[in-house]
Amino acid sequence: MRSFGGACYGASVGRNGGQVKSKSIAFQFSARNASGIALMLALSLGSCKSKPSAPVPPSPQVVAEPKAAVPPPSPQATVRLPPRTPLPLGPSLLVTPGKGLGPIRFGATFATIERHMDLPCELRTENLCRYLSRAVDFEMKDGVLVSLHVQSWLRVVDPKNPEQRFGMFNGGISPDLRLGMLPWAIEAVLGKATRVEKVSGQAPLEEVHHYPGMLLEYDRLENQKLVLSGIRLAPNLK
């Protein structure tokens, strides 16, 4: 039996032991021996089936070793960020070192402050006109403005009540310096401070940068960044 092109076929043997040759490729067969030839072809094709390959052993499973649990970092934050940022309220006020906020200048009376703020003092005492929602304290003496304090919305008003915070101050230092900025960004515009005061025991306040007519206060946030969080103005600050 021979094979060719992946298929099997048999050679017929004659009475004289020689191969029976045919002039044509197709075989002549009668209906009587058709079933016999079909049976021979089935047996010959069955012998050509390839032997089943040996089963491949399964590859061993690699089990990853569990990683050691990483302990959470210890809390070092001094100011926890509130869930939402408030919107700035009131008129936009330009911080002018040594002079005041916008049209409100040192020497202004309570009535002048309230007129320019478009709102009565939210807290008024003999020496204070506070706008909690606008994050500004106007500090008074003998009925006139002598200094003021702008504070960040990240600061709490009273440590005993940490949920109560200042609102968002609507303003900044020319050209566009705002509360919440990093020291290097402030210094890129204003230059180096004449003096940098390190503060201890007044967390979150850590540094006070001195400029003529203005003090810039920097707090440490829970992400460990130092950001501008307060501005103090007075005529004679150095």
What is the pLDDT, as a whole number, of residue 85? 74
Q: What is the mean pLDDT of residues 42-69?
A: 52
Beta carbons of 80 and 153 less than 8 angstroms apart: no
3-state secondary structure of 235: coil
Q: What is the mean pLDDT of residues 209-233?
A: 96
What is the pLDDT, as a whole number, of residue 43? 44
3-state secondary structure of 153: coil
Give the residues across from 141 on adjacent strands. 144
What is the average pLDDT score of the chain?
77
> Comparing 29 with 172, which gets the higher pLDDT?
172
Q: What is the mean pLDDT of residues 60-75?
A: 52
Res. 81: pLDDT tops 70: no
Res. 27: pLDDT tops 50: no
- Where does residue 54 fall: left (phi above 0), alpha (psi -120 to 50 degrees), or beta otherwise? beta
> Comparing 146 with 156, which gets the higher pLDDT?
146
Nearest to 75 by CA among 175, 236, 233, 222: 222
Q: What is the pLDDT of residues 186-203, one digit of tens each?
A: 999 999 999 999 999 988
What is the pLDDT, as a whole number, of residue 156? 81
What is the pLDDT, as a whole number, of residue 68? 52
Q: What is the mean pLDDT of residues 121-150?
A: 96
Q: What is the pLDDT of residues 102-114, one digit of tens each?
A: 999 999 999 999 9
Could you state, in order of their start, the residue ranges of all structural domains in the chain?
93-233
Token pair for 133: 């929602």
What is the pLDDT, as a whole number, of residue 178? 95
